[in-house]
Amino acid sequence: MANSILFITTSSLAANPRLVKEIEVLKNSYSCTVICYKHDDWSLELSQRIMSNNKDVRFIEIDRNSEWMSTIMSKLKHKLSVLLNPILKSNIKISAFASNDKSVQIMKFMSFEEKYEHIIAHNLGAFYPAVKLAKKLKVTLQLDIEDYYPGEALYFNKSYEKENRNRLMQYSLKNATSITYASKGIAMQCKKQYVIPDSSAQITIINAFKSDDFPKPSPKKNERLKAVWFSQNIGPNRGLESVFEAAKVHFDFEFHLIGNSNKKYIESIIPSPNVIFHEILPQWELHQLLSEMDIGLALESKDADFNRDICLTNKFLAYAQAGLYILATDTFGQRDFLKDLHYNAGEIITNLSDALNVLPVLEIANEQKIKRWEKAKTFGWEKEQLKLKQLLY
């Protein structure tokens, strides 16, 4: 059993709630250290709150503004690696540094002298540094595969980046002692695509939340039905166009959108008055607000990228745990999860406006909402976290 654990992520704390949940589960049994990033954006205040709520955890927060020299050097090495990528395609270090400049910088902040006994790496950019450190310290390595990274959209180095991601995944999985997947679809794809040692423990831990984060649904005080969608950002290519279109013909509904708004995008849409915008909320406030809603909108587009088809998002699980009736687009992750449930949590739709026209009234009633809220406790974080604990014994 490990006594000290190092978590590594290339994101901020608030942008990685899965990592935060893991820390809060394990900190009472293990000495936990986290290498993460400080982002001067919507996540800043929320990340600071997370750190203040976990004073018994050691956080090594990399601020790219104050660490300007290492930031410049990491970006230069990244650009050099991109240039060398076509020549040294099989070089894993070049692949890692060409894929993410944070992989370069994290190496500087890792101590090869401290005696961590277990390492948990989140995000693809953290995998290469984590493997190198685990080998140096001769300790166990756990990879958390929250997304299928080679299936995500490419934004740079498009001729080589997908190959880089696949190479990094194979290299990292080959060296992992244990692997956690955030959805069944991601687990299936990784097992199909990569050679994983038989000795590696593998388990799917869905990104659920604590059941008691969601209050018991209470009778509605407002005659209007409320549909909700949330994410980090409200902007294009998120499936929201169908929400704005539906809002213009369904005035008997309120459509609540929660996230950091892209003002230019919103101005170009000219949303109708029954679309209500909310700023990003701390997790507990978000879950409180969700409990006041009736319908959860899970509008992932499998055409956006392959990962969107097989992942299972935080929003989908939060809707289910709040007891909302879910209207979901036809992705493998969403369809498969709804099918596996032993109750009616929602339906797969092809058109939001049409689905609202034939919404099953009885399913929206508060009595049914309470039943869904109760049944969702079977996959709450208090259940899923037990799988995480078992990996460490």
Query: Domain 211-379 has what CATH class?
Result: alpha beta
Integer Cα distance of 334 and 341 in angstroms: 11
| pLDDT at residue 272 in the model | 97
Cα 360 to chain centroid distance, Å, stands at 30
Q: CA separation (Å) from 341 to 9, 152, 376, 384?
A: 32, 27, 9, 15
To the nearest whole percent, how much of the chain has pLDDT over 70?
99
* pLDDT tens digits for range 282-304: 999 999 999 999 999 999 988 88
Residue 313 pLDDT level (bands cut at 50, 70, 90): very high
- Tell me which of 330 and 238 has the higher pLDDT: 330
Cβ-contact 239, 329 below 8 angstroms: yes
Average pLDDT along the chain: 96
| pLDDT at residue 1 in the model | 53
Strands (E) located in the chain: 4-8, 31-38, 58-63, 118-122, 140-145, 178-181, 201-204, 225-234, 253-261, 275-278, 295-298, 325-329, 346-349
Query: Domain 4-205 has what CATH class?
Result: alpha beta
| pLDDT at residue 2 in the model | 66
Residue 175 pLDDT level (bands cut at 50, 70, 90): very high
| pLDDT at residue 320 in the model | 98
User: 100-138 burial, b if ≥16 CB within 10 A, otherwise e?
Assistant: bbbbbbbbeebeeeeebbbbbbbbbbbbbbbbbbbeebe
- Tell me which of 113 and 332 has the higher pLDDT: 332
Integer Cα distance of 160 and 94 in angstroms: 11
pLDDT of residue 122 exceeding 90: yes
* pLDDT tens digits for range 318-335: 999 999 999 999 999 999
Q: Where in the chain is the domain with CATH 3.40.50.2000?
A: 211-379
With tokens 């919103």, the residue in question is 266
| pLDDT at residue 303 in the model | 84
Q: What is the DSSP string of 15-76?
A: T-HHHHHHHHHHTTTSEEEEEEEE-SSTHHHHHHHHHHT-TTSEEEEEETTTTHHHHHHHHH
Residue 352 pLDDT level (bands cut at 50, 70, 90): very high
Mean pLDDT along residues 73-86: 98
Q: Is 138 left (phi over 0), alpha (psi -120 to 50) or beta?
A: left
Q: What is the DSSP string of 224-248?
A: SEEEEEEEEEE-SSSSTHHHHHHHT
* pLDDT tens digits for range 11-45: 999 999 999 999 999 999 999 999 999 999 999 99
Radius of gyration of the chain (CA): 22
Residue 140, helix vs strand vs coil: strand
Cβ-contact 307, 152 below 8 angstroms: yes
Q: Where in the chain is the domain with CATH 3.40.50.11190?
A: 4-205
Mean pLDDT along residues 230-241: 91
pLDDT of residue 393 exceeding 60: yes
